[in-house]
Chain A
């Protein structure tokens, strides 16, 4: 009951903020359209497929998820700095109520966001005459669930530890890192070198890679990437829970 009530409150807070639509839906969809237009301008001789919709859709979906991290951080930090959480800390709500109440609505929004981004990708693929399998897309959404939890965890951690002014800035750094080092806009495998090594140590490349492989129907090759993402997800989720519990128990 308490988890449901708190989750409902959080989903309303997010859905009633117009910026949620701009960043979580508008921006990814706009990037899909923009990159499709750019892709059309690239001559076939360049043999550059990173902006082709079947490659692009997984990366843009991960890019969209990074903005949910931003909103998770803003929601938590605002609740903390406005004393709303202080009121709730003095209520019968437990740590589990709080953590589930924050995670669940954000996870639902993440899935909806992924469905919409992939849905728009399907339409673009149909227009462009590119083959995109619905089964592959559904599988990609499933492979992205750990990434969704990870980005929400990052957001909650920053929201717990930093002010509503500092947390969005830190999230922007992660958004940039995910975009550059995740291989959304460039082919990391073709690049090689130190940058490629750094990319492969971080989870962002693996989130995109696993989803891309699922879209392509090669989920069997995604095992390593999924394991790396899963390890990061567990670490970040634990970190966010520890940070929240610490906030609850410290002197408010």
Chain B
């Protein structure tokens, strides 16, 4: 069953093409990784899929809803955790969660917050204002805010950017638990993160999709034993116009 069908999706800023004729299908319950160096077009792709940016050309259909024709419907079934921590700084953790639950029309925001607080082990910080929390905790809260709405599709844009190793590993655990419960699109430029978490990975460079498959398949494609070497090989071949 397909959750996301992307056809010829293109985004141009003047003469610069950020995403170039992207064709992609992502299955329901899949954890799909978008991998690439800075400026590869990962975040722009996420922004188009979450209706934050209009495509210049092409379309994407999310569980039957076109991002061009039914953005309001798309917004009801998705949730996004942005690169930067997007929390209300003077609200407590619980208040942030209940606020998001309210704007999505969840009937019992308090009960929904209870569940997410338990799922993310946020109990010790639930009454702390988010501005007083460390970067790792804030990121955890930001992802919890994205999940309180029970989205069918979740976009995680560089969720572990700037976190230390321990906080990153803890978040990996959180993301692992979400696998199969919803479709997740994760962008990252941490190769080990994509390899550890994703069912399938797409490698983008210069706005184009260059290769796609499981981490093992990508290693085979590149003829390399480790994933980092495979990524470098694919990116270099793309640079030479061989992919």
Q: Which residues on A are within 8 Å of B, measured CB to CB?
A: 1-2, 4-6, 8-9, 12-13, 16-17, 78, 82-84, 86-93, 97, 251-252
Contact = CB atoms under 8 A, between A and B. Distances in A.
Interchain residue pairs A-B with the least CB separation, the first 7 = A5-B102, A83-B84, A87-B86, A16-B90, A83-B86, A252-B52, A83-B82
B75 A9 contact: no
Contacts of B54: 251
B84 A2 contact: no
A84 B86 contact: yes
A5 B103 contact: yes
Nearest to A8: B99
Interface residues of B, number: 34
B184 interface: no
A59 to B, nearest CB: 31
Interface in B84-126: 84-91, 95, 99-100, 102-105
A41 B106 CA distance: 61
A91 B104 CA distance: 7
Contacts, number: 80
B103 A88 contact: yes
B47 interface: yes
A251 B72 CA distance: 17
Given A2-B102, A13-B91, 8 more contacts: A12-B91, A83-B82, A83-B86, A86-B80, A86-B86, A87-B80, A90-B52, A90-B79
A251 B56 CA distance: 11
Contact of A1 (B50, B76, B81, B102): B102
B74 to A, nearest CB: 9
Contacts of B50: 90
Given A83-B84, A90-B78, A90-B80, A252 B53 contact: yes
A5 B54 CA distance: 27
A252 B87 CA distance: 17
Contacts of B167: none
A16 B129 contact: yes
B13 interface: yes
A252 B80 CA distance: 13
Nearest to A14: B90
Contacts of A8: 99
Contacts of B95: 9, 12
A8 B90 CA distance: 12
A17 B91 CA distance: 11
A2 B51 CA distance: 19
Contacts of B99: 5-6, 8-9
Interface in B51-79: 51-54, 72, 75-76, 78-79
B82 A86 contact: yes
A59 B194 CA distance: 61
14 contacts: A12-B91, A12-B95, A13-B89, A82-B85, A84-B86, A84-B88, A87-B81, A87-B146, A90-B50, A90-B51, A90-B80, A93-B103, A251-B13, A251-B52
Nearest to B83: A83
A251 B12 CA distance: 11
Contacts of A12: 88, 90-91, 95
A93 B81 CA distance: 16
A88 B96 CA distance: 12
Interface in B156-195: none
